Amino acid sequence: MASATAAPVPAARLVSLDAFRGLTIASMILVNNPGTWSAMYWPLGHAPWHGWTPTDLIFPFFLFMVGMSMNYSRKTSFREALRRSAVLFGLGVFMAAYPFFDLTTVRIPGVLQRIALCYLAAWVVRRTFGVVGQTLTCGAMLAVYWLLMTRVPVPGGLAPNLDPSTNLSAWLDRLLMDGHLWRQSKTWDPEGLLSTLPAIGTTLLGVLAGEWLRTKRTPRAKVVGLLAAGLVLTLAGLAWHESFPINKNIWTSSYVLFTGGMAAYLFAVTYLLADVYGVRGWTRPWVVYGTNAIFVFVASGLVAKTLGIVKLGGTSLQVLLYQGLFAWWLSPVNASLAYAVVNIGLWYLALLWMDRRGIHLKV
């Protein structure tokens, strides 16, 4: 994705970067807020284990954008990078603990926690190495994770395996964070510690994409490079899937290559339209989302939790809204989707109000 020889040009703000980030965060809110989890169109749910759906592309796309953004933000010190990581991690734990704040059972891993760790690790790699070093580090992380998951026996006498509760990553999660894992599983966590290693690789792919965009090549050459890299990574991920299956829950190395390739490919299209051809009218809603991405992720999560907890007559506000506005006249899957889409629209209005007043909350 990047050249070791071409000198970078000064970083200029890319509309495509904010738009792609915003589209990604809006997609997160869409899939996280159905009217009911029992009625959903299949693309809006995660693959149960091996395999993927469109929803499984969202989180790695955001990490890819985290890596890319490092090339377009002001230079930060290690102290500032550490502060950002700590704030993100703290926000993630706060969201998990809200509203009861029972620290004996609070989930320690999570989406923001993974973003925090990946950001800090990628920052260190980028400040330490050039493009070649970044590429080799990314490759080494994916190879080491593959070897650990497929060659190292699981303590307790189990052979290496990729089953949900008995793989090495799940064992390590229980060893270090038992009682503080994802409540739906309790025995493993989709944002567990060991699987953060390849997730850092996803972020580094974004760093490399950003390095490529900052070279002196022509915009069309940059698009071609991104498309070519996206194709190679996607095909490599699909090939590796045969022996190390694409799996978001344990963030397999094949998943990193596949989703990194898809991110490069789709970002190239966004960049071509918005920043090369200047077709930007369609980007406005997503730029509004992208410039307050962390804020809207946190706020929407807290509001959703509140609606699920506060009850009237024994029924939560979320269920009352869902049933009163959508469920009585739409089919279950359409009512569930409509609830999620209205969520997106309402948050857009709130973010638009903030944007017009110059309110951009960043970590």
| Confidence category of residue 4, pLDDT binned at 50, 70, 90 | very low
State how far the Cα of 252 lies from the Cα of 150, in Å rounded to an integer. Answer: 11
Look over the chain and give the mean of its residue pLDDT values, rounded to a whole number.
94
Residue 191 binned pLDDT confidence (cut-offs 50, 70, 90): very high
Residues 152-172, mean pLDDT to the nearest whole number: 96
The predicted model gives 191-204 an average pLDDT of: 97
The average pLDDT across 60-73 equals 94
Q: Quickly state the pLDDT bin for 12 (edges 50, 70, 90).
A: low
Look at 11-25, 102-116, 219-233, 319-333 and tell me which has the smallest mean pLDDT.
Answer: 11-25
Q: What is the pLDDT of residue 1?
A: 44
Q: What is the mean pLDDT of residues 340-358?
A: 96
- pLDDT tens digit sequence for 248-280: 999 999 999 999 999 999 999 999 999 999 999
3-state DSSP helix/strand/coil percent for the chain, to nearest 5? 65, 0, 35
Q: What is the pLDDT of residue 22?
A: 96
User: At 74, is the pLDDT very low, low, confident or very high (cuts 50, 70, 90)?
Assistant: confident
Task: State the pTM of this model.
Answer: 0.94
3: pLDDT strictly greater than 50 = no
pLDDT of residue 336: 97
Report the pLDDT value the prediction gives residue 33, as an integer from 0 to 100: 96
Question: Which range has the worst mean pLDDT, 6-15, 107-116, 183-192?
Answer: 6-15
- What contacts 70, CB < 8 A, 6 or more positions away? 122, 123, 126, 206, 207, 210
7 pLDDT higher than 50 = no
- For 39-56, what is the mean pLDDT? 96
Asked if the model's pLDDT at residue 147 lies above 50, the reply is yes
> Would you say residue 139 has pLDDT above 80?
yes
Q: Smallest Cα–Cα separation from 214: which of 74, 15, 68, 63?
A: 68
pLDDT over 80 at 8, yes or no: no
Tell me how far apart the alpha carbons of residues 349 and 262 are, in angstroms, rounded to a whole number.
30
List CB contacts of 222: < 8 A, sequence separation 6 or more: 212, 213, 215, 271
Amino acid 362: pLDDT: 85
- Coil vs helix vs strand at 93: helix
Q: What is the mean pLDDT of residues 45-60?
A: 97
CA angle 133, 139, 144 (to 5 degrees): 120
Q: What percent of the chain is modeled with pLDDT above 90?
A: 92
pLDDT in tens, 218-250: 999 999 999 999 999 999 999 999 999 999 999
Domain ranges of the chain: 15-356
Rounded to an integer, the average pLDDT of 112-118 is 98
